[in-house]
Amino acid sequence: MKPTSLEEAVELTKKFTSRPSNEELLKLYGLYKQATEGDNNEERPGGFDFKAAAKHNSWLNFKGKSKEEAEAMYIALVEQLANTHI
């Protein structure tokens, strides 16, 4: 199945039978946030919340990309991951 929208790509990730790597999951998260909310202007999580910090940094990696560009990248990544996780 080839997703044609962000919503279809999100639905396809729910059909994955194996878990993508943490790196892949963070990239999906960052692209999704960029596609749906735009640039990350939130304050960096403090303390020892490493998971929140990693997610924050992943989203920051896509700063400056348009929502459309991030959505296209998200869809392409989901399509690539579907080959190995479905």
Residue 34 and residue 67 in contact, taking contact as beta carbons nearer than 8 Å: yes
Residue 17 and residue 81 in contact, taking contact as beta carbons nearer than 8 Å: no
pLDDT at 46 over 90: no
Task: Give CA torsion, residues 73, 78, 22, 68, to 10 deg.
Answer: 30
Give the other-Cβ count within 10 Å of 23's Cβ. 10
What structural domains does the chain harbor?
A: 6-85 (1.20.80.10)
pLDDT digits (tens, 9 = 90+) for 55-76: 999 999 999 999 999 999 999 9
Say what the pTM is.
0.94
Mean pLDDT confidence for 9-22: 97
Mean pLDDT confidence for 29-53: 95
